[in-house]
Amino acid sequence: MHTNCPKCGLKFEREPGFFIGAMYVNYAFSVAIIVAVGIALSVFNIYNLHTFVLSVVGLILLLLPFLFRYSRILFLYLFGGVDYQPRD
Ligand SMILES: [Zn+2]
């Protein structure tokens, strides 16, 4: 991850340790994935504990790069005082 925006030079880490809070956003994403997998397995009537745990772990590992980045992006937008203002 860049320390500064390559376009406008914005420093992403607003204060030291700022992105520790992104952990909670990541946690929310993970819970959403766990619930979604549970519902999907129930709907398709293939729910059992092994399938559930393996699919949740597999899916979270697969999505880890996205979860990492999007939790930081969301946290930056929510609590970083950053507003996207495109220049024409
Ligand atoms: Zn920028």
Name which residue leads in pLDDT, 9 or 40.
40
Any domain includes 12: no
Model confidence pLDDT, tens digit, residues 26-74 = 999 999 999 999 999 999 999 899 999 999 999 999 999 999 999 999 9
Any domain includes 2: no
Q: Measured in angstroms, how far is the CA atom of residue 10 from the centroid of ligand 1?
A: 6
User: Where in the sequence is the domain holding 57, given as residue range(s)?
Assistant: 19-79
Q: Measured in angstroms, how far is the CA atom of residue 85 from the centroid of ligand 1?
A: 9
* Per-residue pLDDT band at 88 (split at 50, 70, 90): low
Structurally, how many domains does the chain consist of? 1
Any domain includes 3: no
Any domain includes 43: yes
Any domain includes 26: yes
Distances (CA, A) of 74 to 20, 23, 70, 77: 13, 11, 6, 5
At residue 87, φ and ψ (nearest 5 deg) are -90, 140
Distance CA 33, CA 26 (A): 10
Q: Measured in angstroms, how far is the CA atom of residue 44 from the centroid of ligand 1?
A: 43
